[in-house]
Amino acid sequence: MIADYIKSLNGLNVGDGQFVVDDNGNVSIANNNVSIGRQGVTVKDGNFLLEHGNSGVEYELSPRTNLVYDHSFEMLETEGNLFTSYDDFDIDFSNSDDEWMAWKGSGYPKMFRTLSLDGIRPSPFGLQSVEVHRNHYMYQKIWVETGQTYTFSMTVFPTKRTNGSFHPRVDVLSYNGDTRTSDSVIRVIQGKAFPNGTYQDTYRISGTFTVPAGVNAVQIQILAEDGTTWYGVDGVQVVEGNRPVIYRPESSFFMSMRGIPHYPQMNGGELKNISITTTNGWHSMTLYNGWVNYGSPYSLARWRMDAEGFIHVTGFIANGSTALFGSIPYAIDSKCEFILHAANGFARVQARPYNGTTELVLVNYDSGGNNGFMSLDGINYFGRDW
């Protein structure tokens, strides 16, 4: 049959309803389970399947609940200074009491984020990603149901630490509550060896596992197959069923949990880590140049923003030099000065705008003041989120 001679397909019925064109040109497929018309495409009790372009992993368009807590690592904190050669940090796991519904690390896995020295360097999802190695890996325990099939998936990519090709691996370990079962390895999920490249070269790996009898929890361990290189991880997912689903990063949720300014920021190579939240909206303030918290019973150095946008600082600090002593991620419009109570006198402090933040600098002492202590109460200004 030559297509030039086909004037209309209206009325066509192939395979007793498998492919039908009605008198108006509307198409139905698979006994009317899929219909295509001028108003769009309708699928009855079905699903669309998509395929990842680089890795060929097939996943469903319909969403399902992701059982992984903090699945794009947005709530993790950094520890220590920036590794300038790799643009990453160690991870602070001290706020995670255990591995239940929270990430923990073995060895020294790393973390990098969009806010970095070389400008915008996006994570695949959100603003933070982690890097793992055979001996430096991430793990988390999640509750599961006996007999149920689940699918694990994650997005992987090369980083500045990647040396040659990288070979992802995920171990799924079985638990009964806090007790690891005797036959503990349910599944080892291995991705193929992916080539080194840029952080934009992302791949998705996946694997299914069925929970055996006597098991009500699993530990997901993300590591590398060999010990020669690192790779990046983001977008971790565990869902019910035998196929992964489209990944939802929930970026707005994590940003509202932390606020974009509460991610550590890089200014002139110096880490301004202001991400630790305490009670009642107060945030701890990193101290510089020898300044430390005075200690009990006095307040720690902290800041908060009120409902009207004003920044309030409190705390009792001591022993530092006449220099920068703190930083806040909301910028003051212009430089201003505060006279604060110090040991044996007073301290003159300036709040200065700097690259979208406010630097707090001790200028000098008045009336015999010294660094035996300095009270930060009295520093208040209207903050701008640049």
Query: Considering only CA atoms, which of 201, 265, 251 is closest in space to residue 231?
Result: 201
Q: What is the pLDDT along the chain (386 residues), one digit of tens a residue?
A: 555 555 566 666 666 766 677 777 676 766 666 677 666 666 666 667 777 777 778 878 878 889 999 999 988 888 887 788 888 889 988 766 566 778 999 999 999 876 544 444 568 888 889 999 999 999 999 999 999 999 999 999 999 899 989 999 999 999 988 788 877 899 999 888 898 877 678 999 999 999 999 999 999 999 999 888 999 999 999 999 999 998 988 776 666 565 554 444 333 333 334 343 444 578 888 899 999 999 888 889 999 887 677 888 999 999 999 999 999 988 787 888 899 999 999 999 999 988 778 899 999 998 889 999 999 988 988 875 43
Instruction: Looking at the structure, tell me whether residues 21 and 92 fall in a common domain.
Output: no
Distance, CA of 194 to CA of 168 (rounded, Å): 8
The boundaries of the domain holding residue 95 are 77-258
Residue 268 inside a domain? The answer is: no
Instruction: Looking at the structure, tell me whether residues 102 and 241 fall in a common domain.
Output: yes
Residue 377 inside a domain? The answer is: yes
- What residues are paired with 93 via a beta bridge? none
Query: Considering only CA atoms, which of 337, 341, 373, 339 is closest in space to residue 358?
Result: 337
Residue 55 inside a domain? The answer is: no
Domain tally, the chain: 3
Instruction: Looking at the structure, tell me whether residues 250 and 323 fall in a common domain.
Output: no
Residue 54 inside a domain? The answer is: no
**pTM over 0.75, yes/no:** no
Query: Considering only CA atoms, which of 73, 74, 132 is closest in space to residue 106?
Result: 132
- Which CATH number belongs to the domain containing residue 231 in this structure? 2.60.120.260
Instruction: Looking at the structure, tell me whether residues 246 and 293 fall in a common domain.
Output: no
Residue 65 inside a domain? The answer is: no
DSSP annotation of 296 reads T
Residue 236 inside a domain? The answer is: yes
Distance, CA of 340 to CA of 86 (rounded, Å): 41
Phi-psi region of 25 (alpha: psi -120 to 50; beta: other; left: phi over 0): left
Instruction: Looking at the structure, tell me whether residues 166 and 309 fall in a common domain.
Output: no
Residue 67 inside a domain? The answer is: no
